[in-house]
Structure 1
Amino acid sequence: MRGQTWTRRTVALGGALLSAVVLGQVALSGPVAAVPGLQFRTTVGPSNSVAKSQNAVCPTGTSVIGGGGAISGSGLGQVGMDIVQPLANAGLYSVTGREDPNGVAGNWSLTASAICAPAPSGLEVVTGHSAVNSVNPKFLELFCPVGKRAIGGGGAAVGSGASDVLLEDLRIGQNSVTVAGVEAGNAFAGNWSVDASVICVDPLPGEQRVIVDSSDNSTASRAVTATCPAGKSLHGVGGEIVGGEGQVRLTEMRPTSSTTATVRAAEDENGFSGNWKVRAYAVCAT
C-alpha cells in the first residue's frame, strides 16, 4: 500500500498464541471523523475453560490502528489477558486469555475489539521483544520514528502456557508505548519476556491524550473509563495497573464506544492487602 510502512518482526510465543475462533463482527458505530473512515469492530468468542485467542478483524481496505479486549465469566482474577496485540499485516487485533496455574472451575470468554481505518498518513508499526530471563518486573518502551505520534499499540507477557506472568501496563505516550510485565504473585521460577508494539502516524488534528485513574484502595475489583472531549473521537486505547504487586490482573482494556476507553482489573483468588488502582488512556482527535 503506497505511503504505508510496516516494521515487522516474528515473535516466538512458545505456542501460547492460539488460533482464534471468530464468531462474528459487530460494529460499535458507523464511520466517524478525524481519521477518515474510522470504524470499530468487536467479536465475542466461546465460553469455556480452555486457553484461547480471539481476533477482531478490520474490514477490507482498512488497517488496524488500535484495539483491546476483555474477559467475561468466572474466575476473573485468575484469568490473564496477557497478550493484546495488533497484527498489522493481517489487519486485526488479537487477544489471548489463559488461566493461572491453579485453574478456574467455571467458564469464561474473550472479547476482542479493533479500531480500523484506511491507512492514515505515515502509518508505521514498530515491534520489539525484551530479553528472556528471570528479571522481575520487566519494562519495554518502543518509540515512533521522529515526527510521528503513537496512537495505539499492544503488549504481551509470556512465560509458560499458563498465566504465570501478567501484562500489567500498556501506556501510550505522545511518541512511544511502554509495556510492563510482572510475575504472578512475584513468584514465577522460570524465564519469561515481554513484547511490545507501537502504532505510529503523522500528527492528527486536535490530537489529545485523556488519562483517568480509578479510586486507589483495597477493593477486589475496579474499573475506570476515559472519555474523549466533545467533538473528538477515540483513536487508541491503553491501560495500567498501579500497585497490585503481581496479584491483580487486567480483565478489560478496550474501546467501549467511539469516544470511550474502559479499563478493568481484579485481584487474584488470594486477594491483595494493599491499595491499587487502574488507569485508562484514550488517544483522541478531531
Structure 2
Amino acid sequence: MAVKYTWCRRGTVSTLALIMVAGTVGTVGPARAAGPDSRVAAPVRISVTSATNSLASKSVVVNCPAGQRVHGAGGEITGGGGNVTLDDITPSLTLTTVLVTGVENGAYAGNWNVTGYAICGVDTLNLQRVHFTGPANSVTPKSVFAGCPSGLRLYGLGAELNGASGNVFLDDLTPNAALTGATLTGYENGAFAGNWSVTGFAICGNPSANMVRQAVTSAAASPVAASVTTAACPAGTRVHGVGAELNGALGGVVIDDLRPNVGLPTSTATGAENGAFAGNWTVTAYAICSA
C-alpha cells in the first residue's frame, strides 16, 4: 500500500510529496526478541578505494570479514571537485558487502577515485536490511522513507539513484532522531528529462544500549566546499552508521564525502558545489552511536 506524506524541506518554501513504497526486508541470522543486547561487539571500519583516472563511472565493493555483518555504509569522492556524485551507497541484502559508485556529472577531464566504507560488526543484532523505492518519473526532488520494523532501531543507512546517469544528486541521507528510519532524497542538477527514482536503505536491529544520533551543521555560507565532523560518540559507544544532509543546495551541490572516521569516534560529511552556485547552503553530518 502506498502512503503519501507532505514533507517540508528545511530552508525552502516548497513541499515535497514523499512516497513510501513497499519494499523488501531481508533478515540475517536467527530472529530474537527485540530489546537491549549486551553482546554487541565494537564494530570496525573497512574501506576499498578504486583506481584514480578519468573514467566516467567507478564502483567498489567492500566486504565484511567472515562472520561479520554490515552495520553502516559510507562513501567518498576524491578529486571530483564537485563534478562527481555518489550514485550508490548500497548495503547488500545479506549485509555482507557494500557497493559504492561515483558518476561524473557531464564530461569531466580530471582524475578522481571513489572510496567505499563498510562498518562491520558481529551478527548478534537480528540485523535486517529494509529498502523502499519511490516512483520512476522526471519529478524533482524525490524522497523515500526507509523505516525499521516495529521494535527495531536504525544502525545504518544507504541510498541508490536509479536511471539518474549523473544528472541527479543525493541531497539527504538523514537518520531521524528516534532512530526508527531514514529519509533519502535526490535532486536533479538542472533540467533532466529522464525518468529516475530513489531507493532508500535502512539497516535495522535490536535496540542496543545508549543508542544516540549525533548531528552537527556547518556555518551558513556559499563556499566552494564545506566539511563538518560530528562530536565524538559518548563514552562506551562507537559510530555504527553515518548520514549527511545538504540544506539549501537544491541540486547545485554534491555530497562529496560521507565518511566514518578511523577508530569510529566520529563521522565527517562534505558538500562541494557543482560549478558556480549563488545560494547559501550548509551541510549536516550525522553519526549513529551505539554500545
TM-score range, shorter chain: 0.7 to 0.9
Asked whether the equivalents of residues 39 and 124 of structure 2 are also in contact (C-alpha less than 8 Å), the reply is: no
1:166 corresponds to: 169
SS at 1:69 equivalent:
strand
Determine the C-alpha separation between the residues in 1 that align with 2:96 and 2:126.
16
In the alignment, structure 1 residue 36 sits paired with structure 2 residue 7? no
- Cα deviation 1:58-99 (Å, max 9, x = unaligned): 0000011102010001x4211011211111426111110010
Determine the C-alpha separation between the residues in 2 that align with 1:224 and 1:120.
32
Asked whether the equivalents of residues 158 and 165 of structure 1 are also in contact (C-alpha less than 8 Å), the reply is: no
In the alignment, structure 1 residue 134 sits paired with structure 2 residue 134? no
- Structure 1: which 4+ aligned runs deviate by more than 3 Å? none
64-73 vs 114-123, which moves further: 114-123
RMSD of the alignment, in Å? Answer: 1.7
1:261 corresponds to: 267
* Residues paired across the two proteins, number: 254
- Cα deviation 1:85-142 (Å, max 9, x = unaligned): 11142611111001012x1111100111110011132211111111001111001001
Asked whether the equivalents of residues 148 and 203 of structure 1 are also in contact (C-alpha less than 8 Å), the reply is: yes
2:189 corresponds to: 184
TM normalised by structure 2 equals: 0.83
| Unmatched 5+ stretches in structure 1 | 6-32
Determine the C-alpha separation between the residues in 2 that align with 1:90 and 1:147.
20
Choose from 100, 103, 107 the match for 2:105: 100
- Seen in structure 2, the aligned counterparts of structure 1 residues 44 and 4 have a Cα distance that, compared at 3 Å, is farther
| Unmatched 5+ stretches in structure 2 | 1-27, 33-37
- Cα deviation 1:237-278 (Å, max 9, x = unaligned): 111111111110011002012111110010012x11111011
1:26 corresponds to: none
Determine the C-alpha separation between the residues in 1 that align with 2:52 and 2:77.
10
223-232 vs 275-284, which moves further: 223-232
- Cα deviation 1:199-255 (Å, max 9, x = unaligned): 001111011110110111111100011131233211111111111111100110020
Asked whether the equivalents of residues 3 and 121 of structure 1 are also in contact (C-alpha less than 8 Å), the reply is: no
Determine the C-alpha separation between the residues in 2 that align with 1:2 and 1:154.
21
2:12 corresponds to: none
Choose from 202, 211, 218 the match for 1:214: 218
SS at 2:82 equivalent:
helix
2:71 corresponds to: 65
The offset of 1:159, in angstroms, is 2.8
TM normalised by structure 1 equals: 0.85
Identity %: 38
Determine the C-alpha separation between the residues in 1 that align with 2:269 and 2:169.
15
Letter in 2 for 1:44: T
1:142-161 equivalent positions in 2, closer than 5 A: 142-160=146-164
The offset of 1:35, in angstroms, is 2.5
Determine the C-alpha separation between the residues in 2 that align with 1:179 and 1:2.
27
